[in-house]
Amino acid sequence: MAIYAIGDVQGCYDELLRLLDFIAFNENSDQLWFAGDLVNRGPKSLETLRFVQGLGDAAVTVLGNHDMHLLAASCAPKIALKKDALTQVLEAPDRDELIDWLRYRPLFHYNDDFCLLHAGLPPQWDFKKTKKMAALVEQTLRSPDYPVFLKQMYGNKPNVWSSNLKGMARLRFIVNCFTRMRYCDATGKLDFANSGPPGSQPKGLMPWFDAPNRKNAQLRIVCGHWSTLGYYESGNCYAIDTGCLWGGQLTALKLDNPVQRFGIDCPAAKKPNKSYGVPVRSNDTLQPLVPID
């Protein structure tokens, strides 16, 4: 069985189908690991959700920040504006089935070789702590009271880990790490003001995977979320959001030994605020991505 990790789709359903054709995906023998953000911004969030749900055990997806936003909007419709691409899901006849399926997706998935999450991990969490923290939010999302949590989910504080965090403060911090994290300082304090590529951040901040004394550094982590980072591979971290939505590529990473990287060019479904580029920070000699014209 081949396992392919797929970068952020964000409703780019046609591009997803082209990528699966390109890698000759066989749903009877292969498995897809989606790095979160199946929905929003792109043109076909509803089709994407239905397709991935329909793959059954042939697909695993972790929750990203846009997936969490959809869940919150399902409980408080004012969260989703009319121009928001999520309305196609919220107004669909099978919306309840799709929302229930989505809220049972994990924040963290792993096998004996790789771990999958959307954004990042604080340096204080080892594998055991990471599993425990993910499970706390997953259990909350699967409980009857999940709307109460989702309506209080938004916020940038607390922004640093402490074992003393309790209740909603702990849950919000966990969600922000798994679904929103890019930069932090040496203590693991989260920064949400900067989303550009490494080198653009203020002094004292670093990509989460470069934090000193990171207790999860031995884990082989596949993640998405950071389109301006582009494809990145170093120190057991594989970042695979290569900006399909913005006219970059949609990436599939075959989780083998060694890993193999595949990609297709994508038309821009959204225009980025700044000129878009897909930097490649890698020390490998793996199969290259299909070039961007």
User: What is residue 84's predicted lDDT score, i.e. its pLDDT?
Assistant: 67
- What does the block give as tokens for 1? 């069985």
Strand partners, 190: 184
- What are the tokens at 29? 């023998």
3-state secondary structure of 250: strand
CA 34 to chain centre: 8
pLDDT at 81: 61
**Do residues 98 and 38 lie in contact, with contact meaning Cβ atoms separated by under 8 Å?**
no
Structure tokens at 113: 């070789």
In the prediction, which pLDDT does 6 show?
98
Q: Which of 177, 180, 224, 235 is nearest to 6 (CA)?
A: 224
Ramachandran category for residue 273: left, alpha or beta (phi over 0 → left; psi -120 to 50 → alpha) = alpha
One-letter amino acid identity for 158?
P
Distance CA 237, CA 123 (A): 13
Whether residue 117 contacts residue 67, with contact meaning beta carbons closer than 8 Å, is answered with no
> Which CATH superfamily hosts domain 3-282?
Metallo-dependent phosphatases (3.60.21.10)
**What is the block-wise mean pLDDT of the chain (293 residues), using blocks of 10 residues?**
96 98 97 97 96 98 97 83 77 97 98 98 98 98 96 95 97 98 98 96 98 97 97 96 96 95 92 48 30 21
> Residue 180 has what DSSP assignment?
H
Tell me how far apart the alpha carbons of residues 209 and 55 are, in angstroms, rounded to a whole number. Answer: 31
pTM attached to this predicted model: 0.91
Q: What is the C-alpha separation between 279 and 290, in angstroms, rounded?
A: 13
Do residues 85 and 40 lie in contact, with contact meaning Cβ atoms separated by under 8 Å? yes
Contact between residue 103 and residue 59 where contact means Cβ atoms under 8 Å apart: no
- CA-to-CA distance for 174 and 108, rounded, in angstroms? 11
Q: Is the peptide bond before 212 cis (omega within 30 degrees of 0)?
A: no
The rounded Cα 241 to chain-centroid distance in angstroms is 8
Nearest to residue 25, comparing CAs of 4, 52, 55, 46? Answer: 4
Bridge partners for 61 per DSSP: 34
Give the pLDDT confidence score for residue 26 in this predicted structure. 96
> What integer pLDDT is reported at residue 83 of this predicted model?
55
Give 198-232 as a 3 state SS string. Answer: CCCCCCCCEEHHHCCCCCCCCCCEEECCCCCCCCE
Where would I find the H helices in the chain?
13-22, 45-54, 65-75, 87-90, 95-103, 127-141, 146-151, 167-180
The closest of 106, 121, 233 to 177, measured between CA atoms, is: 121
Query: How much is the pLDDT for 257?
Result: 86
